[in-house]
Amino acid sequence: MKKTPTRLADGRELIYYDLDTTDAVRDAVDKRPLDPISTASEVRRDPLLGDAVAIASHRQGRTYHPPAELCPLDPTRGGEHLTEIPASDYDVVVFENRFPSLSGPTGRCEVVCFTPDHHASFADLDETRARLVLDAWTDRTAVLSRHPAVRQVFPFENRGEEIGVTLAHPHGQIYGYPFTTPRTALMLRSAAAHKAATGGGNLFDHVLAEERAASERVVIEGAHWTAFVPYAAHWPYEVHLYPHRRVADLTELDEAQRAEWPVIYLDLLRRFDRLFGPDAGRTPYISGWHQAPFLTPEEYAAYSTGAGGPLERADFGLHLELFTIRRTVDKLKYLAGSESGMSVFINDVPPEKAAERLREVAHA
């Protein structure tokens, strides 16, 4: 992987990630007349729930469903179409979001463009390009872990208008949160309770072992990764992807795990696109990496509940969660009263049936 950092016209950072076989020189200049970026992100704490809410009013003016010929994530085309990427072509690009939810002392938000092909999707990538995206995610996790305002790094992708995507170009985002997210805090508390109850056992290892042993919810099992529908899946079609050797974050994956991941993940995405038949179009989804936050040993130990030793960063298990809000070819799963009001999910598709369907669509 070749990494070339540069700056956009308004001062934001942009990094080209190229395959080692690429001999392109990344010296294109952003010629847009942009003013320096000005944001006003604020994080407020809910006194009842204890969670955080980002207030980012400047996002009201962000680009919204532009026509394909004006997409800001395409490569720049001469002087006719100046975009966020000054180069006329690229492999993978990461840059600071122009309309960030978090910025400055409240964290950092980045955009990841997977391919210059506006009409493609992550599932259309070959294994080499998918591996390059994984390497870019890994590099950004390492870099953002040293950012003074970042405590947790979350690489994710939203795909489909049904999800709320406003730019059709295949891309994802990376959020560097200045706190441990509520969902991760729940995982840490559960991991600490399991460690105490089992005299030192690991919750993530236990979940993976149970799913592999039961097998009825396993979708794909490789040499280094297993994809399964969780026992208490929240969403109609939801898959968790775990490495067999537990690691805390992407930087700790070994070469064998990195080499197999694109094979498994591309297979999963293509199965998602076949779930509802050839006339249903691409399946909308959210996919994200759950990584251990960057806390002090004392902060991890604070989650501990008793015997089994204090909780440590190494107790967290990196995994990817992928789900769709589509439950049938023409029906979406909306978060209504119970889900939105009380965070109690009601799933219309039994996890075992979802796993069975995902195994059925292994081939076109």
What is 239-308 written as a DSSP string? Answer: EEEEESS--SSGGG--HHHHHHHHHHHHHHHHHHHHTT-TTS-SPPEEEEEE------HHHHHTT--STT
Residue 92 bridge partners (DSSP): 17
Alpha carbon separation from 177 to 12, 104, 134, 151, 343 (Å, rounded): 18, 11, 20, 6, 22
**pLDDT at res. 246:** 98
Contacting residues for 126 by C-beta, under 8 A, at least 6 apart:
none
Stated length of the chain: 364
CA distance 250 to 208: 18
Closest CA to 288 of 349, 223, 228, 241: 241
Provide the token pair at 35.
């003013």
**CB-based contact 234:322 (threshold 8 Å):** no
Buried b (16+ CB within 10 A) or exposed e, 211-239: beeeeebbbbebebbbbbbbeebbbbbbb
Q: Which residues of the chain have pLDDT under 50?
A: none
**pLDDT at res. 364:** 67
Hey, what amino acid is at 307?
Answer: A
Q: How many CB atoms lie within 10 A of CB 143?
A: 18
pTM of this structure:
0.95
DSSP 76: P
Q: Is 65 known to be catalytic?
A: no
Closest CA to 81 of 139, 131, 32: 32
* Domain 2-35+42-177 annotated CATH 3.40.50.2300: no
CATH 3.30.428.10 placement within the chain: 2-35+42-177, 182-360
**pLDDT at res. 305:** 87
CA distance 242 to 163: 24
**pLDDT at res. 78:** 82
**pLDDT at res. 3:** 96
Identify the active-site residue in 65, 118, 171, 240. Answer: 171
Closest CA to 112 of 72, 155, 54, 49: 155
**pLDDT at res. 104:** 86
CATH dotted code for 182-360: 3.30.428.10
**Burial level of 285, CB count in 10 A (0-12/13-18/19+)?**
buried
- Alpha helices, DSSP H only, in the chain? 127-144, 182-197, 203-214, 255-274, 297-301, 342, 351-360
